Amino acid sequence: MQLLNDFMKIIQAPDFVQPYIHFFASEKEMQLVVLLNEQKLTGQEIATLLQEPDEDVKFLLEQAYRRHIINRTVEDGVAVYSAGDFYNRLDSHSLYGNYYVIPKKIRSKLDEWCFEEYLKRHEYFSKVINSEPEYDNCHNEWVLLLNEVEEMIDASTKIKVVPCNCKMMADNCDYSREICIFFDDKIDDRTIGRELTREEAKDLVRKLDKEGLMHTGGPHNWREKGPGVVCNCCACCCYPFRAAIKLGTKGKWPKSRYVAKYDAEKCRSCGLCVKRCHFNAFYFDGSNIAFNNELCWGCGLCANTCPSKAITLEELAGTK
């Protein structure tokens, strides 16, 4: 019990997850984290303290690192290890572990806990709220159109698609889960996913667009720095949109650069726009379609499937 309590404290796990912590770490991994505590140790130092063969310790360290239970950095040319935290372990486990064995009630609490941690950990949110929308080291900077995502794909040399941590944890809809696309320098030794060719990546984003998922990504200056990450989002699961709605950053983060323009005379009232809009900007007013442009985020899902071309996109001033 002492090992469990020490492990929970070091990785800063919420108390309610204790009965299920064995899903997140083995006893050996818990011992490793408690051994590290607030220290940074080399593999050789860890092997000496554990009094176990170097090869066994090497395997343990690599496994724990890949599972986000410990972290690894290089200092003076030597790899050193430190304890991870539950926030990042939860992220990894929701993607690649047996996460759905955990009861739904607990998973819902974990989603709430993780979302609140997400809000705490991203200081650039305050910059956006304080009318400073041009920020660095952010994610999901722009709401992107499909053709812009395809342009990013063409500019990349390496592409991987991974499951979406937001969707895996929130589990609020039936949209696809394998939807986060990493490019080039954003792919590291812990990016576990499928490698895609450019054509495979384009086929995927077209499929996800048809399914009804919005596209976000960055960095905002990707044409100079290279593409980073593209997410294919819904408003009910994805943390950036949930955060933007809660914090009131609509239009500034993720940054909207377009707004839909609706021509009622061309409309056939098929209702596709109503089904595809995540923010209820299009809705039925009696038997007719109505549009509230103040609710529009400029994602283009309505315009790119309108059969009568009643919806087009207009570029907002000063957004390029």
Dist CA 250 CA 309 (whole Å): 26
The band of 21, judged by pLDDT with boundaries at 50, 70 and 90, is very high
- Between 137 and 37, whose confidence is greater? 37
Span 210-229, mean pLDDT? 93
Q: For residue 78, list its beta bridge partners.
A: 75
Q: Are 249 and 128 in contact (CB under 8 A)?
A: yes
* Amino acid letter for position 34: V
Share of the chain above pLDDT 90, in %: 87
Q: Are 37 and 70 in contact (CB under 8 A)?
A: no
- How confident is the model over 98-155, as pLDDT tens digits? 999 999 999 999 999 999 999 999 888 888 888 877 777 788 899 999 999 999 999 9
The band of 320, judged by pLDDT with boundaries at 50, 70 and 90, is low
Residue 294 has pLDDT above 80, yes or no: yes
User: Is the bond leading into 219 cis (omega within 30 degrees of zero)?
Assistant: yes
Burial 23-51 (b: 16+ CB within 10 A, else e): ebbeeebbbbbbebeeeebebebbbeeee
The band of 319, judged by pLDDT with boundaries at 50, 70 and 90, is low
Q: What is the pLDDT of residue 220?
A: 84
- Measure Cα distances from 96 to 1, 32, 225 in Å: 27, 21, 30
- How confident is the model over 77-97, as pLDDT tens digits? 999 999 999 999 999 999 999
Residue 14 has pLDDT above 90, yes or no: yes
| Entry pTM | 0.91
* Amino acid letter for position 66: R
- How confident is the model over 240-290, as pLDDT tens digits? 999 999 999 998 899 999 999 999 999 999 999 999 999 999 999 988 999
| Average pLDDT of every residue of the chain | 94
Q: What is the pLDDT of residue 318?
A: 65
